[in-house]
Amino acid sequence: MDIRPFNFGTLAGEEHFCNRIIELQKLSSNFRMGINTTLVSARRWGKSSLVEMTAKHVIKKEKNIRFCYIDLFNTRSEQEFYVQMAQQLIKATSTKAEERIEAVKTFFRRLIPSIGISPDQQQEFTLSFSMKDLQRSPDEILDLAENIAKTKKTKIVVCIDEFQNIGYFTQALSFQKKLRSHWQKHKHASYCLYGSKKHMLMDIFGNVSMPFYRFGSFMFLEKIDARHWIPYIIHRFEKTGKKITEPLAKQISSLMENHPYHVQQLAQETWDVCGKFAKSTDIENAVTRLLRQMTILYQREVDLLSNMQVNFLKAVCSGVEKFSSNETLREFNLGSSANIKRVREALIEKEVIDINNDKPEFSDPLFKIWFWRIYMQRW
Ligand SMILES: Nc1ncnc2c1ncn2[C@@H]1O[C@H](COP(=O)(O)OP(=O)(O)OP(=O)(O)O)[C@@H](O)[C@H]1O
Ligand SMILES: [Mg+2]
């Protein structure tokens, strides 16, 4: 198989994994010591890749540890959550069909699930519960990780992605209280909670009045710095039979504002268009090609914005710093300064912008370029 120069859209594996050394060490040590972790960053900055990569490293060093992954991207109710958790924990801690059936018998006393197993007996494994039982006594599932870990004399790390979705459950607060009151007593199981809606997660983890406040060691994942991207890009070009100079590698990361997904994407596109030696015009062509691919989507994104929201984006693009100054309000037609707050919140909610170091930034650096060049017709 050909070596892929760059990777975007799927988790960054070993050869596409750039830096994150400090984060990897910290997370490994949390996993090994059973310290709960909450991990927050903006979309596509590399949370899932970091968690999986760390798990791989930990498993190499320590045999007696199991990882269970739960993704809540399509989970919208407490009951669905319990079912997922039960299924994934059994799957992660036993492999053969007979073992799984045995585990269900051992670990469920009050809740009696029915088991679904596919003919090939490997991948498919489902559990279904009576909804009434789940509502009445979910404790067996909430403590399942701890009970399995204790019985099997192992450690279990439960990694829950898109954790912010628990905020959508009815009675979200009492559910969170229930989770926390169980999980904080666990000694053999620990939890790594992360997700992509930064503002929702900050509400769950960073709000003193919420149950998950200070639940564990808090990590905020930053973008990857240019000083790590540059050697990575040069190395990947070399590995795959092409060459790129340091200034050009720097240009790729700076055009994409060091955004992990987009740096990989532009590097790949540049690699695709260039000959044996990448040139500056190749990067320009690559950007144009990407903009062309994205234009329908970006146009639709703008169509869904109000005039005021579009004006706010124009101000962001133009490098405005003081959004509520009279001059800005007038120049960009932004109404009153009270209005600015609402517009900002709405754009954050839509994930069009993100606040970094107190400054609004486009979440997608390519969209910013599109907005500036194509929409505002500036260069
Ligand atoms: N350490 C890394 N080195 C290089 N590229 C990375 C790294 N981490 C992430 N990426 C790039 O970013 C992309 C998104 O990574 P990942 O899916 O891990 O992010 P995420 O924060 O979990 O995203 P989402 O918010 O969509 O869940 C990857 O496909 C990869 O291209
Ligand atoms: Mg992810």
The pLDDT confidence band at residue 130, using thresholds 50, 70 and 90, is: confident
Residue having the nearest C-alpha atom to atom 9 of ligand 1: 46
pLDDT of residue 3: 81
47, exposed or middle or buried, with CB in 10 Å at 0-12, 13-18, 19+? buried
Residue in 25, 74, 261 to alter for ligand 1 test, most ligand atoms within 8 A of Cβ: 261
Domain ranges of the chain: 20-220, 226-304, 306-379
Taking the CA of residue 10 as reference, the ligand 1 atom at the shortest distance is 29
The pLDDT confidence band at residue 303, using thresholds 50, 70 and 90, is: very high
Distance CA 118, CA 186 (A): 32
Taking the CA of residue 162 as reference, the ligand 1 atom at the shortest distance is 27
Query: Which tokens belong to 144?
Result: 């399942």
Q: What is the pTM of this model?
A: 0.93
Whether the CB of 9 sits within 6 Å of ligand 1: yes
Could you give the 3-state DSSP secondary structure of residue 245?
A: coil
Question: 212-242 pLDDT, tens per residue?
Answer: 998 999 999 999 999 999 999 999 999 999 9
Whether the CB of 44 sits within 6 Å of ligand 1: yes
Residue having the nearest C-alpha atom to atom 29 of ligand 1: 8
Whether the CB of 49 sits within 6 Å of ligand 1: yes
Q: Is the pLDDT of residue 1 over 60?
A: no
- Say how many Å lie between the CA of residue 331 and the centre of ligand 2: 39
Distance CA 110, CA 254 (A): 57
More confident residue, 125 or 184: 184
Question: 242-274 pLDDT, tens per residue?
Answer: 999 999 999 999 999 999 999 999 999 999 999
The β-bridge partners of 127 are: 115
Average of per-residue pLDDT across 117-139: 82
The pLDDT confidence band at residue 114, using thresholds 50, 70 and 90, is: confident
Question: 275-288 pLDDT, tens per residue?
Answer: 999 999 999 999 99
Whether the CB of 12 sits within 6 Å of ligand 1: yes
Query: Taking the CB of residue 377, how many other CB atoms lie within 10 A of it?
Result: 7
More confident residue, 117 or 56: 56
Whether the CB of 43 sits within 6 Å of ligand 1: yes
Residue in 39, 47, 49 to alter for ligand 1 test, most ligand atoms within 8 A of Cβ: 49
Whether the CB of 264 sits within 6 Å of ligand 1: yes
pLDDT of residue 346: 95
Distance CA 376, CA 379 (A): 9
pLDDT of residue 343: 95
Return the top range by mean pLDDT from 128-132, 199-203, 372-376: 372-376
The pLDDT confidence band at residue 102, using thresholds 50, 70 and 90, is: very high
Has domain 226-304 been given CATH number 2.130.10? no
Whether the CB of 144 sits within 6 Å of ligand 1: no
The distance of Cα 51 from the centroid of its chain, to the nearest Å, equals 10
Question: 331-351 pLDDT, tens per residue?
Answer: 999 988 888 999 999 999 999
Residue having the nearest C-alpha atom to atom 28 of ligand 1: 8
Query: Which tokens belong to 296?
Result: 């329908």
Whether the CB of 7 sits within 6 Å of ligand 1: yes
Average of per-residue pLDDT across 359-377: 95
pLDDT of residue 166: 93
Q: What is the CATH number of domain 306-379?
A: 1.10.10
pLDDT of residue 122: 63
Q: What is the CATH number of domain 20-220?
A: 3.40.50.300
pLDDT of residue 66: 97
Could you give the 3-state DSSP secondary structure of residue 146?
A: helix
pLDDT of residue 2: 66
Q: Is the pLDDT of residue 123 over 80?
A: no
Query: Is the CB of residue 271 less than 8 Å from the CB of residue 278?
Result: yes
Average of per-residue pLDDT across 104-131: 84
